[in-house]
Amino acid sequence: MTEPYESLRADLILREHLAINRTVLANERTLLAYVRTALALLIAGVSAVHFLDVLVLQILGWAFIPLAVVTFLIGAIRYRRMDRRMRLSTADARPA
C-alpha cells in the first residue's frame, strides 16, 4: 500500500510530514469510531429482536438495525469526503 500524499512528501520538512500523518490518522480514527458505533447499534438491535419478548423493546431493536447501517454510511461518506479534501489541498500546495 502506498502512503498517502507520497508524491508531495519529497518537498516537505519533518514537521509537515508529521502533521499530514496526524491528520490521516485522525480521519481513520473517526471512521473507526463510526464503525464501532454502527456495530454496537447492530448488535443491540439484533439482540433485542432475538432475545426480548417485550414489544416496545423489539420495535426499538428493529429501529436500531437500519440506524446502524445509516451510521456506518455517514461515517464512510465523511471519511471519503475528508480524504478527498486532504488530497486536493496537498495537490494545490505542490510547488510548480
Per the domain annotation, does 61 fall within a domain? yes
How many alpha carbons lie under 13 Å from residue 38 in its C-beta half-sphere? 16
Give the torsion through C-alpha atoms of 39, 41, 44, 48, to 10 deg: -130
Q: Is residue 54 situated within a structural domain?
A: yes
Kindly state whether residue 10 falls inside one of the protein's structural domains: no
Q: What is the pLDDT of residue 91?
A: 67
For residue 70, which of 45, 53, 89 has the smallest C-alpha distance?
A: 45
Look at residue 22 and tell me if it is in a domain: no
In this prediction, residue 20 has a pLDDT band, given cuts at 50, 70 and 90, of confident
Extract the C-alpha cell encoding 30. 473517526
How many domains would you assign to the chain? Answer: 1
The grid cell for 3 is 502512503
Cα–Cα dist 59/26, whole Å? 35
Asked whether residue 1 is assigned to any structural domain, the reply reads no
| Residue 82: domain span | 31-96
Decide if pLDDT at 95 tops 60: no
